[in-house]
Structure 1
Amino acid sequence: MDDIDHGAFRRLDLNLLVAFDALAAEASVTRAAARLHIGQPAMSHALARLRDIFADEILYREGPGMALTERARALAPRIRQLLLDAHAVAFTETEFDPAKVHAQFRLSLTDPLEALLLPALMARLRPLAPGLSLSVQAIPAWQQLEQLDGGQIQLAVGHFPHVRTVHQQTVLYTAHYACVFNPALVSLPGSFGLRDLAALPHIHTSYTGDAPGMVDLAFQALGLKREIVVHAATPLSIPFVVKESPLVAVLPDIVTRLFRNHADLRIAPLDAEGLSLPISSVIHRRDHSNPLAAFVLRELVAAANAVLQD
């Protein structure tokens, strides 16, 4: 494709082409001005500029009226097509139809969020966009925004305390914390707090994407320190560990709700100052007007509302 001399376009205003089209259609400065709802002096000025640009009279007087030059007659259909193309680009928005999409969409979810949200999200997407495939990337929480910025993913879901102006963030849910343990192995009162938990050994994972040390900071605020005896690579092993060992886990409820089928465990909400975790979706500014990204985000929000608000 030939390159465009952008500097040459500094002499040309799209409004001049609109004026040319009106002049070509009316063959009259007065009628062309009326068509564009401008004064005759302004149209005469536009005609003067067109004559300079095209090195042609464009219109000349013939008898009682005016007529187009041969150059103007040759230019008229080409300029009309340019204006139609410009109008289509600027004002005609192609309607997005998810049923016609054949594409792959890349997103990242931590393991707990994938287990919670992906079933509901796919249940919504399949009937609406059968040609859309999702590629869920296994990205550590602290690398998600970096991958989003680099274009490796188009949507990130997790806990993002520090986003930039290039990120569009939508809060899906505010998670609170709960304690998980096996009551046959761990003795805790019916109502307990951080002081009771500080005396017990803990299992913890940082893979959930919570802010580093958030739970430990809550202990420190009370002058306490917990003992972590196991650092798990993922939270999904935790219910199996606490079922067999006298340990406790303090985790966001987006994680602990995955353990509800473990009948041997007790999952107790933990009321502690400052222990909450906003869960958000983030898309990059470059995809702000991407209809596919907007569609997936809308369905994700609906899936999250259905799953997380119960």
Structure 2
Amino acid sequence: MTANSWTVQPLDSFRLGNYQFPLPCYLCEENNLFDAAMCRRCHAPLALTRSSMQKKGARPNLVLTLGADDVGKSIYLGTLLDILSRERDRSDVTSHGPSSVSLQHRAMSALAKGEFPDQTSPNPEDWYWAQCRLQRRSRKEPFTVFFPDMSGNAIFAEIDRPNSHRSVTGGCARATGVYLFVDSARIEKGDKDEEFLALKILSYLGEVLEREAEESAATAGRRGRAHKAPPLAIVLAKADQCESCWEDPAGFVAGNLPGLWQHCCDNFPVHDAFAVSVVGACARNFYDAGRFEQIPLRVEPRGIMEPFRWMMRNIMT
């Protein structure tokens, strides 16, 4: 046997030893293997935990997109990621990770076919967790922000049955920013369901934040204190069907959804409203019994970057 026939095998005992140290999920605190990518319980990316560890306990930047299932959360995030990936003169802000590319691809492919993306699955393992990286001149390391594309059905299922979706509960407890999506076209037509659904979400969010603050205070041996509400952006989606909301989005919300606006003023000190639209116009394809589906006629993004820039300014301060 010649010397070249021998193969030197590296010693992997140091790697095997790492398995005795579990990696807790940032959202649900379930222990996972140190090299796992997703939490085995809530399916949140363990990159959140690793980000927290790299920052020596600082909170990762997690911006939630909350709203009903058909309000346009996925198409907004996909379009935002597409814009960020194509802006050559803005190298300080970039989308990051395969999940971001998948969400962008899903949205752009559907629009190219003259369709809107399918509704997000209520199963957390099917959700996309987009990431954006912002490079600041004052710091060497990038500023990473996570944007989970949560299902509206899962959000309301968690509200109605607490702890049924741990990723929703954990996300609300640790959010550093929140997008609240409402349907501007329905609001203009006088549909009051939009206000009730939005208030339901914000009431649940407030309860989770308050409970999280009390538990954190008890763990630290302090008296209970009021929670710090994250910045809240009310996103008036489908604004291509509601021209009246463009001139003054905040005034539109205050005039048409007074209960929601007052709730924001009382409980979310940092809040604002924004009108957004991905398409320039839509047509309706009617089926039996009056059912119909919206068909995008042309892709014409408008107002996409404004809530993103506002949110980044507020969570980076």
Bin for the TM-score computed over the shorter chain: under 0.3
Q: What is the TM-score normalised by the length of structure 1? A: 0.27
Bigger RCO of structures 1 and 2 (CA < 8 A, at least 6 apart): 1
Q: What is the TM-score normalised by the length of structure 2? A: 0.27
Larger radius of gyration: 1
